[in-house]
Structure 1
Amino acid sequence: MRQGLSLRFSQHLALTPQLQQSIRLLQLSTLELNQEVQQMLDDNPFLEATPEEESPAPMEAPSAGDADIASESGASSGAEAHGDEPEPPTLSVEGDGWEGDGTTEIVNDDGEWGGEPAGRKLSGSDEDELDATDLARGHESLQAALHRQALALRLSQEDAAALRFLIESLDDDGYLEESLESLAAQLAPDDLEEREELVHRFTVALGLLRSLEPPGVGARTLAECLTLQLNAMREDADNPEAVDIAVRVCRQPIELLARRDIKRLAQLTGDSEADVRSAIALVTRLEPKPGRRFADVERNIIVPDVLVTKSGRAANARLRVQLNPDVMPRLRVHDVYAGALRAHRGEGHQALQQRLQEARWFIKNIQQRFDTILRVSAAIVERQKSFFVHGELAMRPLVLREIADELGLHESTISRVTTAKYMATPFGTFELKYFFGSALGTETGGNASSTAVRALIRQLVAAENARKPLSDSQISDMLKEQGIECARRTVAKYREALRIAPANLRREL
């Protein structure tokens, strides 16, 4: 083999650490950003939270459209390049609008990036008042509630261990998905005698588990869960016979109960149709998921990033777009540590200088994140003004490319901004992606938003005759009568997205 030397030119794109951090922060949700800020405050000594009383008055910027997006291109300011202390980063946009009719305001009343970390309550006279996150953290889980009840049972060490194992094997809904044999096989895969002993222990523990609250916990199927709840209410029921009929109904194929096929259920149970109808009414009041009220509500909390308020009516409506001040972290570079670093250039100065630069980058990238969210939200509100005036039936078709072209950003950036970011509107709180939808053709040559079509389908189903529900083909024909070209398969797809059952399951027999 002969050795040689060659010269080759190539181009490649390199992401700076600052740009990588900016992209990562942009795609984080509000709760994830709060955790990131707390982690950075713990790790970086040059970063601190500004006390609320030291926060200066809000500062204004000319327009959201003129906001600096240098961090997206990887550029840094001249002050950072020379290592000088940058001006305090601010985000406060207020005015009569931008390139429009002046009917939309982009504001941020909070202004300065100082104060308490993200997610903290900024105002209120009662210091003991708890927000939704604090209440969620104090919520008891299903496993914790069952373990607490199990302490009141006088069990042997083996039975207590078996019960504890079954409790930990429950899913979030309170069901025991695996069989007792499979659970025993996991603990004793090679010893048949020990496996049989474990199955016996688990059988006893399962009976104890099902005697705990909430009723229905430890069931393996929906029918078994409903039956356990009916058996639990039999002692206190005013009409035990009705409970017995409901138990017999639950023992039949669950599909008949879902379809409310009263005639077929009456034939199988041997009861009258009136009794079966009363039994079904009793079953509908049961809880199909016993662990629902013990769910981890903290992960389901939706904190809006953007607030949209409306003043005026119809054509004179004025929309106000602002960032939620409760989710904006207030951070600054620690002046004492930064001054000490400039005054003393001893051992480890280069490493500390790097940490100081990381703190500045972090503040700048968080500011850039909220600035981008505000700009994108303002552009969405401008495009979807009809929604904020008339509701979801007036939603216009909108794709990511339109917002990206208007703001001079890439589609991937818009996708990151609209993921897990929420906007509080007069009609409720929606994810930013909710305002984007494909277009369906109309007879007049125009376009209708898929979101508006889904809302129309929901209205048609809500107004249908319960004894003769509309099929997907009928809904498609009704949409065509209103000038919207929507095929039957598209109607079925939208109906499933709305979690609406098909016609045969919506029919009341």
Structure 2
Amino acid sequence: MALEQKLSLKLAQKLVMTPSLQQAIKLLQMTRMELDTLLTQEIVENPVLEEGTEGQEEETPLQDLKEERPEPANGELDHEKSMENIDLDAYFGDSWEGTGHTSMMEDRDDPPFENILSREPDLYDHLLWQLHMAEIPPRLREIGELVIGNLDPDGYLVATPEEIRAMGDGEGLEYTLDEVEEALRIIRHFDPPGVACTDLPESLLCQMDLREVPHDALARRMVVEAWDLFLRRQFPAVAKKLGVELAELEEAVELVRGLEIHPGRKFNTDRPHYIEPDVFVRRIGDEYVIQLNDDGLPRLRISRSYRRMLQGLRGDGMQAEAQNFIKDKIRSAVWLIKSLDQRQRTIYKVAASIVRQQRDFLDQGIDHLRPMVLRDVAEDIGMHESTVSRVVSNKYMHTHRGVFPMKFFFHSGIDREYGENISSLSVKRKIEQLVQSEDPKRPLSDSDLMRILNREGIQIARRTVAKYRDELSIPSSTDRKQVF
């Protein structure tokens, strides 16, 4: 077939993501913190944008203020002239002297507040402080620093003694295994107990050493000789292997349970994450009022100065490059302000639809939470499911029943023999209540929970019960059973 060149016309429709549409989609799925950071950056980069407040008035020139200043009437006292005739140092001198308090005008030598701020010491700082306070040779102190640097946040050693010795070889220092073992022995006697061990059994034995538990104690034997059986809670098999009665194991088991399995837990420096809701749902009478939370977000507006500047440049017909620059910045600012307004409107529509469809939950509690998927809200407000998904992502709603992620209200339903479908969250709550009220010595298995729920008309399979139990972090019936 011969190759030839030709022109042809083709008519087609396709979706084009304009910059404004891309920006609106990007803003829609942002959290409050991300949005605040973006707006602050836009204010810095775009000179046309400025932060304003509601009811802000134009500044009055200083000359006008001086001209409008009223003159004192006849017989009235001019306070400024009278203050000039008062010797303030002499007036306050007697009260500032001899009172025992530092004068407000006195220069202090206190350190700045930046130097006072500190963070809580973590496990590394705490162990390093004890190492430097210990009276040990400098060589052992260097090895101890290597050991402390190879501990995980729980306090367990992640490097072998051979690897620690090899670290010294890389720096030109020739450590011996005996020196490494001696440094490990020193650090294992530091606070917290059980630190710098390679695994959990070794940490438990180290804690027993610090508690001066006898070497022939039943708790030690249980950790050393029957650790696998102890982990599987097979206490009759543990008692048989140790050659003791089952009742004699109770004290040893309680002793091991009282030990710390994460020695470095109390030095965890993770700070709590506080949630700031995006939507407030307030109950006023029999109605629910939705209020968007825009506290802390800058209120953007286009600068009047740049608008007047653009009008002046247009009138003079000069500096076309400057005009184009200002036009581009104004166009970008208008897009951003419109995208923010569209974001707020979309969030409000989704929140209003959630409140309408979950009215029973707000009135009566979680037992009346109805199943709902993204399609239900999308059809209610006339938007696509992907838009609703972006809205509810990483956003929270504050109600009189607590603060919930907006995704909390979307979940599947389970069939019932009568009435409407029941929410999966309601089923999880029932499972949790059944487990809390069970006999500890005869806990309910997954099959027992399935049969109880089936008698209540909830059609659920055993594997679904096991799945919900795992999501609730509830152990199996074998692990929940109390032997003693």
TM-score scaled by structure 2?
0.72
Preserved CA contact (<8 Å) 2:370 2:422? yes
The 1:468/1:161 distance shift into structure 2, 3 A limit, reads same
SS of residue matched to 1:416: helix
Q: Which residue of 1 aligns with 2:393?
A: 419
- Deviation for aligned residue 1:138: 4.8
Match of 1:306 among 279, 290, 304: 279
1:4 aligns with 2:5: yes
State the distance in 1 between where 2:305 and 2:344 align: 27
> Is 2:347–2:391's contact at 8 Å kept on the other side of the alignment?
yes
In structure 2, distance between residues paired with 1:369 and 1:264: 63
Secondary structure in 2 matching 1:444: coil
Q: Deviations over 1:283-329 (max 9, x none)?
A: 434443344444454473333222334466xxxx5434323354x51
The whole-number CA distance in structure 2 between the counterparts of 1:244 and 1:34 is 60
**Mapped partners of 2:379, 2:340: distance in 1:** 23
SS at match of 2:356: helix
What do residues 56-106 of structure 1 show as CA deviations (whole Å, max 9, x unaligned)?
A: 49xxxxxxxxxxxxxxxxxxxxxxxxxxxxxxxxxxxxxxxxxxxxxxxxx
Q: Which has the larger displacement, 284-293 or 12-21?
A: 284-293
Output aligned runs, 1:25-104, within 5 Å: 25-50=27-52, 54-56=53-55
Match of 1:175 in 2: 156
1:431 matched residue in structure 2: 405
Q: Mark the CA change 1:387 to 1:182 in structure 2 (over 3 Å): closer, same or farther.
A: farther
Q: Which has the higher contact order (CA 8 A, sep 6+)?
A: 1
Give deviations 1:433-488, integer Å, cap 9, x for gaps.
12111111111263111111111111111111111111111111111100000001
Q: Counterpart in 2 of 1:335?
A: 303
Structure 1 residues 223, 414: closer, same or farther in 2, change over 3 A? farther
1:477 aligned onto 2:451: yes
Instruction: Give the Cα separation in 2 of the matches to 1:247 and 1:156.
Output: 33
Residues 452 and 356 (structure 1), Cα distance of their counterparts in 2 relative to 1, 3 Å cut: same
Measure the CA separation in 1 of the matches of 2:142 and 2:326: 52
Distance 1:376 1:508, change over 3 A: same
SS at match of 1:379: helix
Bigger shift: residues 471-480 or 259-268: 259-268
TM-score calculated relative to the size of structure 1: 0.68
Between the aligned partners of 2:145 and 2:203, the Cα distance in structure 1 is 20
User: Alpha carbons of 1:487 and 1:242: their partners in 2 closer, same or farther (altered >3 Å)?
Assistant: farther
Q: Which residue of 2 aligns with 1:440?
A: 414
**In the alignment, is the contact (CA less than 8 A) between 1:392 and 1:452 conserved in 2?**
yes
Unpaired stretches in structure 2, ≥5 consecutive residues: 57-116
Residue among 351, 360, 369 paired with 1:377? 351
Contact 1:216 1:229 in 2 (8 A): yes
SS in 1 for 2:383: coil
Q: 1:388 deviation in Å? A: 2.2
SS of the aligned residue for 2:372 comes to coil
Matches within 5 A, 1:116-265: 138=119, 140-147=121-128, 149-153=130-134, 162-181=143-162, 197=175, 203=181, 205-232=183-210, 234=211, 240=213, 245-251=218-224, 256-265=229-238
Between 441-450 and 338-347, report the one with greater CA deviation: 338-347
Q: Does the 8 A contact of 2:411 with 2:424 survive in 1? A: yes
Q: Is the 2:184–2:196 Cα contact (8 Å) retained in structure 1?
A: yes
Q: CA deviation at 1:410?
A: 1.3
Identity percentage over the alignment?
A: 35
1:276 equivalent in structure 2 = 249
Shift of 1:162: 4.9
Distance 1:219 1:385, change over 3 A: farther
Q: Number of residues paired by the alignment?
A: 415
**Residue equivalent to 1:288:** 261
| Contact 1:419-1:432 within 8 A present in 2 as well | yes
C-alpha contact 1:22 1:365 (8 A) present in aligned 2: yes
State the distance in 2 between where 1:381 and 1:264 align. 56
SS across alignment from 1:423 = strand
Whole-Å Cα distance in 1 between the matches of residues 144 and 325 of structure 2?
Answer: 54
Supply the RMSD in Å over aligned alpha carbons: 3.9
8 Å contact from structure 2 (residues 302, 333) kept in 1: no
Cα 1:156–1:195 change in 2 (3 A) is closer
Any idea what SS the aligned residue of 1:300 has?
coil
Q: Structure 1 residues 13 and 325, CA, compared in 2 at 3 Å: closer, same or farther?
A: closer
Structure 1 residues without counterparts, runs of 5 or longer:
58-135
Q: Larger radius of gyration, structure 1 or 2? A: 2
